[in-house]
Amino acid sequence: MCLIRNIDLRFADLVVLSSMLSIHSRSRCHILRVRAALCACAALTAVSFTAPAAAQTISHQLVASGLLKPMQLAPTPGDSSRLCVVEQRGQIRLIKNGVLQATSFLNIDALVPDQTYGGMFGLAFHPNYAKNGKFYVHHTTGATSAITIWVAEYTRGASSDVIDSTTRRVIFSVTSPSSQAFHLGGSLCFGADGLLYIPLGDGGYTGDAGGPPRSQSITGATSMFGKVLRIDVNSDDFPTDANKNYHIPAGNPFIGVTGEDEIFVRGMRNPFRCSFDSATGILWMGDVGGTAREEIDTLDPATDAAANFGWNCAEGLLCTTNTNCNCLTSGLRQPVYDYTHTVGLSITGGTVYRGCAMPAFEGHYFFADYQNNKIFSGEVTPTNKLINVVERTTQFSGGQSTITSICADLSGELYVTNHSTGFVRKIVQSPAPPDTNGNGIPDNCEPPANPFDIDGDGLVGATDLAIVLGAWGETGKLPADVDGSGTVDAGDLAAILGNWS
């Protein structure tokens, strides 16, 4: 239980008694610490195990149409009115205040060929984007046997709506050796550690004999494939190489030993869509399978360095009979969930729901199958397992076609991108949760009342201060007794000043 009022009271009274002049600054610092504690309490609540939601259904709302092969959605940090949508052809479109803008946020169409298995796949904003304006894209160039994957940085200029493509700086690149490079990954994910995680496929295609060895190899030019790489984009260990502008972070498992320093984990086939759980910091990955199974994997950055996810000795929970494979003795990491090809043929990894507008689905992981046009959700347990998976395709009728991503906005609400139809849709709970005051905001999403805003004008200011001073010394349950001590006194004064808007 978080007792902010009791904590503020004790501190504020001491401050007032020692020095009236220091009430404002010192109580503000303390309240900030209390707020941090409240956030921690909220996080603990967010990761608590929830009851099954199989009986609750979902639906969808159209957000935008007219997009060309949308691949992924990403919110703009610090601005809830803006959503960016990656188009495969090499453009990023901006949805601003719910309206798809005519001019692209970023246009590198001339650089990115329109391919079935290539193009622009992913986008990640720098954690400090609000200040430095930097973001990163995953795209390919070339065709068939000459495909190169690029991770490039772009920087916001005078306009926050249109990015100058000449600000491009290459961060990382790798060329596939396969004659048909289909398994190229696509996601870029910043973790809570501020580092950039780059999940890459094995660089091959179904039946490619070279793909599995690349997934397991940790040395050589092609060993980056079939891995999750981890780099730091904030500094540069390779100042003489124009195509390598990053730092190898401490904790990567192959620093100083055999293996490429960028590699964090291995044994992936094609982790096309991945996302961090905002409450736990766990990376959830949908790894596209081969001929038998699709799988969902989890990665804990704090404990899973050097983990081996098994391809191609293992495909999902299935142990293969491939050469030199022994799943039982090799310490391979098992998926948290898999399904057979009678269910679906190409998984689209999704996102753990941490919003407020679908309370029945708090802590549920949503994912899809691109090829079979299906959508699912399952409960995430406290140990990051996935249970009680429910197919929700019928509930999502009309919105389930060729889903290429399921992504969260700044509030944790989820959206899907429909590749073939060019739509962005929002996942909503059906029936909708209660909205008592009818303002269009579910009760669960209403901001909590500010106990220090006595007059209810939305601000803690001069009027609230006047109310406290006017009731000074009075006792009882009074609005001016904001710290709940039973008396309007110095503690209430400190609380008002410490929360001044």
In this structure, the number of other CB atoms found within 10 A of the CB of residue 55 comes to 8
Which of the pair, 46 or 434, is modelled with greater confidence?
A: 434
Give the separation between CA 288 and CA 270, rounded to whole angstroms: 5
Q: Which of 32-36, 161-165, 216-220, 394-398 has the lowest mean pLDDT?
A: 32-36
The pLDDT tens digits for 482-494 are 898 989 999 999 9
Give the separation between CA 150 and CA 350, rounded to whole angstroms: 23
- Position of tokens 């249970």? 387
Q: Confidence band (pLDDT; 50, 70, 90) for 328?
A: low
Say if residues 124 and 130 touch (Cβ distance below 8 Å).
no
Given this model, what pLDDT does residue 21 score? Answer: 31
379 φ, ψ to 5°?
-85, 135
**Quick one: residue 486, left, alpha or beta (phi over 0 = left, psi -120 to 50 = alpha)?**
left
Using CA of residue 199, residue 200, residue 206, residue 210, what is the dihedral sign?
Answer: negative
The pLDDT tens digits for 227-247 are 999 999 999 999 999 999 999
Predicted confidence (pLDDT) at residue 480 exceeds the cutoff of 80 = yes
Rounded mean pLDDT, 45-69: 74
Predicted confidence (pLDDT) at residue 128 exceeds the cutoff of 60 = yes
Angle ∠(385,365,411) on CA atoms, nearest 5: 130
Query: 59-429: what fold?
Result: Neuraminidase (2.120.10)
The pLDDT tens digits for 331-361 are 899 999 999 999 999 999 999 999 999 999 9
Beta pairing partners, 226:
none
User: What are the angstrom distances between the C-alpha of 197 and each of 186, 233, 349, 381, 425?
Assistant: 11, 10, 15, 24, 26
Which residue type sits at 422? G
Rounded mean pLDDT, 46-72: 78
Helix (H), strand (E), coil (C) string for 105-161 = CEECCCCCCCCCCCCEEEEEECCCHHHHCEEEEEEEECCHHHCEEEEEEEECCCCCC
273 φ, ψ to 5°?
-125, 125
Say if residues 355 and 412 touch (Cβ distance below 8 Å).
yes
Q: What would the DSSP string read from start to end of 43-79?
A: HHHHTS-----TTSEEEEEEEE---SSEEEEEEETTE
Find, among 294, 433, 436, 275, the residue nearest to 362 by Cα.
433
Say if residues 72 and 85 touch (Cβ distance below 8 Å).
yes
Given this model, what pLDDT does residue 15 score? Answer: 34
Q: What would the DSSP string read from start to end of 73-111?
A: EEEETTEEEEEEEEETTTEEEEEETTEE-SS-SEE-TTT
Mode of pairing for the β-strands spanning 364-369 and 347-352: antiparallel
Report the largest interatomic distance among the alpha carbons of the chain, rounded to a whole angstrom: 84
Give the separation between CA 64 and CA 100, rounded to whole angstroms: 6
Say if residues 343 and 360 touch (Cβ distance below 8 Å).
no
Rounded mean pLDDT, 21-44: 36
Which of the pair, 182 or 498, is modelled with greater confidence?
A: 498
- Percentages helix, strand, coil for the chain (3-state, rounded to 5) are 15, 30, 55
- The encoded tokens of residue 245 equal 């502008």
Angle ∠(476,479,485) on CA atoms, nearest 5: 50
List every span in the chain annotated with CATH 2.120.10.30.
Answer: 59-429
Predicted confidence (pLDDT) at residue 109 exceeds the cutoff of 90 = yes
User: What are the angstrom distances between the C-alpha of 102 and each of 136, 161, 414, 480?
Assistant: 22, 11, 24, 51
Find, among 282, 284, 283, 286, the residue nearest to 272 by Cα.
286
Predicted confidence (pLDDT) at residue 27 exceeds the cutoff of 50 = no
Give the separation between CA 298 and CA 293, rounded to whole angstroms: 17
CA 76 to chain centroid, in Å, comes to: 12
Given this model, what pLDDT does residue 17 score? Answer: 30
What secondary structure letter does DSSP report for 436? T
- The encoded tokens of residue 5 equal 């009022």
Q: Which of 29-43, 69-83, 288-302, 328-342 has the lowest mean pLDDT?
A: 29-43
Is 381 in a helix, a strand, or coil?
coil
Give the separation between CA 400 and CA 469, rounded to whole angstroms: 59
